[in-house]
Amino acid sequence: MEKVIFTPIGVVINAFDEPTDPKTMRNSISTLALDPKYAGALEGLEKFSHLQVIYYFDRSPGYVENIHPMGDPSIPMRGVLATRSPCRPNPIALTLVKMISVKGSDVEVAGLDALNGTPILDLKPYVNHFDAPVGLERERDSSYKPWDCGSKM
Amino acid sequence: MEKVIFTPIGVVINAFDEPTDPKTMRNSISTLALDPKYAGALEGLEKFSHLQVIYYFDRSPGYVENIHPMGDPSIPMRGVLATRSPCRPNPIALTLVKMISVKGSDVEVAGLDALNGTPILDLKPYVNHFDAPVGLERERDSSYKPWDCGSKM
C-alpha cells in the first residue's frame, strides 16, 4: 500500500524524559507546543473540556504481533491491535486529556501519557455524541457534511 | 519537524464511493479489510464492543485554518483543529464504531463514516476507562506499563 507521510504539528513538553509510573503521568500537566503557524487553527478549542491527542510513539520498540496487555504477564497475550501498546504496525497513540488552556500555539492539558519531546500529529475536540458509544445508538444529524469544506465557506 | 511515515494496514470496503448523507453512512456496515499478515495481531479484538478506527482522509481537499463546523454556514467559523473536518494539517480521521465480527484479517463494523477505499492506519479497542472523560477523574492503575513491550514477554 502507498505510504502516508505526515509532518508533526508540534511536540509535547513535560517532565517525563523516560517511561514513568503511568498514574503519575496521567495526573500531570503537559504543554502541547504547536508550530506557531497553527495558532489560528486552534481558535475555539479552549471551549471544549477534553481533547483527543493523536501522537507518534517515536520511541516504540517496533511491531510485535502478540503482547501481554499493559505489560502484565498475568494477562494472557493478545493481538497487538487488540491492545493500546506502542508495538503496533503504525505506532500511533491516542489519548484523551483534559483541556486547561490555550495560549497562542501552546495548549496546556492534563492527563497525557506521552514522553517529553513526543511528536504530535493531530488534536481533536472530544464530542460525546461522536466519541462515546452512546452516540452510536442515537440518530445522527443528517445536516452533517464533513466533506464539504471549501477553503473559505 | 521530521516527517513521519506510515504504511496503511488495510482499506475500508463499503458502498460509499463518494460523500453521502452522514446519517446513512453512520447507519451502515463497512469491512476493514486488513493486510492478511495482520490476522494474528487482531486476536482478541472481537471481545470488544466498540473500536476506534484511525484512518487517512485521502480525499481531503487540503488544509484550511478556519472552517464552519460540519460545513454549516450558520455555525460561526472556528479553527480547523477545534473541529473534526478533514481539512486539518495532517488529514487523520478518528471514528468510533461498533464491532460486528472479525474473520481472518477482515473486521466488520457499523458506524464508520469513511469512503470506500480509504486507507486504514490503526485500530484500537475502545476502553471506557481511557476513552471516556469519566476515566480521567478516576485513579489509574499504577501497574500499567505501556512501554514495557519486549517481543515475547
B38 neighbourhood in chain A, CB within 8 Å: 81, 89
SS3 assignment, position B31: strand
pTM of the model: 0.88
CA A40 to CA B71: how far, in whole Å?
18
Q: Kindly report, residue by residue over A88-129, the tens digit of the pLDDT.
A: 999 999 999 999 999 999 999 999 999 999 999 999 999 887
Q: ∠ CA A130-A125-B106 to the nearest 5 degrees?
A: 45
What is the ipTM score, two decimals?
0.88
Q: Kindly report, residue by residue over B13-65, the tens digit of the pLDDT.
A: 999 999 888 889 888 999 999 999 999 999 999 999 999 999 999 999 999 99
Nearest to B64 among A54, A67, A149 (CB): A149
pLDDT at residue A153 greater than cutoff 60: no
The single residue listed with the C-alpha cell 500537566 is A29
Distance (Å) of CA A41 to CA A50, B66, B103: 17, 6, 41
Q: Kindly report, residue by residue over B46-57, the tens digit of the pLDDT.
A: 999 999 999 999
Among residues B15, B22, B93, B47, which one has the least CA distance to residue A138? B22
DSSP state of B127: -
- CA of A16 vs chain B CAs: smallest distance (Å): 13
H or E element: which one contains A128? helix A128-131
Q: How many CA atoms lie within 13 A of B16 on its CB side?
A: 23
Architecture of B1-60+92-129 per CATH? Beta Barrel (2.40)
The whole-number average pLDDT for the span A20-26 is 87
Do A130 and B9 lie within an 8 Å CB cutoff?
no
Among residues A88, A89, A84, A62, which one has the least CA distance to residue A72? A84
Could you tell me which CATH number the domain at A10-60+77-128 has?
Answer: 2.40.30.70
The answer to whether A72 touches B143, Cβ cutoff 8 Å, is yes
CA B92 to CA A39: how far, in whole Å?
19
H or E element: which one contains B55? strand B50-56
C-alpha cell at B138: 478516576
B43: β partners: none
The answer to whether B21 touches A146, Cβ cutoff 8 Å, is no
Closest residue on chain B to A7 (Cα): B3
DSSP state of A62: -
The single residue listed with the C-alpha cell 490555550 is A102
H or E element: which one contains A134? helix A133-137
- Select the more confidently predicted residue: A41 or A71: A41
Please name the residue ranges forming H helices in chain B. 22-26, 128-131, 133-137
Distance (Å) of CA B8 to CA A29, A96, A118, B18, B84: 32, 23, 21, 20, 21
Amino acid at B32: L
Domain extent listing, chain A: 10-60+77-128
A145 neighbourhood in chain B, CB within 8 Å: 19, 22, 70-72
Do B26 and A126 lie within an 8 Å CB cutoff?
no
Confidence band (pLDDT; 50, 70, 90) for B92? very high
B119 neighbourhood in chain A, CB within 8 Å: 1-2, 4
Q: What percent of chain B has a predicted confidence (pLDDT) above 90?
A: 73
What's the pLDDT at B140?
A: 40
